[in-house]
């Protein structure tokens, strides 16, 4: 089955800096890519998702990059602020069953004032 590796497991940045989280996957049939944010004691909040025909997507200070050749997905938080402190997960699914999401193991991001 699909294997998703996420790094780093912990990331600490200062307010205003960028934070980059990377996921790699193994299956070339992977076709749907998403990022979730989990605040302490809460459920997962969908941040952004892309299909495999999209290489780059930007929304509200977040940038998702997809490199299909290297099977790599990244999330870039530009100008991070303390409210971005949370655990971030990538999640992918394969054709044809988009219902089955495979998650990375998470990155705990701390943004210091």
Partner 1 sequence: EAAVTQSPRNKVAVTGGKVTLSCNQTNNHNNMYWYRQDTGHGLRLIHYSYGAGSTEKGDIPDGYKASRPSQENFSLILELATPSQTSVYFCASGGGGSYEQYFGPGTRLTVL
Q: Site residues (CB under 8 A) for partner 1?
A: 1, 4, 6, 32, 34, 36, 42-46, 49, 51, 89, 91, 93, 98-106
* 32/23 Cα distance (integer angstroms): 13
Which CB atom, from 16 or from 98, has the smaller least distance to partner 1? 98
Pairing type for strands 10-14 and 107-112 reads: parallel
CB of 78 to partner 1, least distance (A): 23
Cα–Cα distance measured from residue 7 to residue 60, given in angstroms and rounded to the nearest whole number = 23
Smallest separation (angstroms) from partner 1 to the CB of 99: 6
Query: Based on CB atoms, which residue is closest to partner 1, 96 or 113?
Result: 96
- Look at residues 36, 42, 50, 51 and name the one whose alpha carbon lies nearest to residue 104: 36
Nearest distance, CB of residue 63 and partner 1, angstroms: 19
> Least separation, in Å, of the C-beta of 69 and partner 1?
23
Tokens of 54: 């999209």
Q: How far is Cα 99 from Cα 16, in angstroms, rounded to an integer?
A: 36
């Amino acid at each position: 089955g699909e294997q998703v590796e996420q790094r780093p497991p912990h990331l600490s940045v200062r307010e205003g800096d960028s934070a980059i989280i990377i996921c790699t996957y193994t299956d070339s049939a992977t076709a749907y890519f998403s990022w979730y944010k989990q605040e302490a004691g809460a459920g997962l909040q969908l941040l952004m998702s892309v299909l495999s025909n999209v290489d780059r997507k930007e929304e509200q200070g977040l940038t998702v990059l997809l490199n299909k050749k290297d099977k790599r997905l990244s999330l870039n938080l530009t100008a991070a602020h303390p409210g971005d402190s949370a655990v971030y997960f990538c999640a992918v699914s394969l054709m044809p069953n988009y219902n089955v999401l495979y998650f990375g193991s998470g990155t705990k991001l701390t943004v210091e004032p």
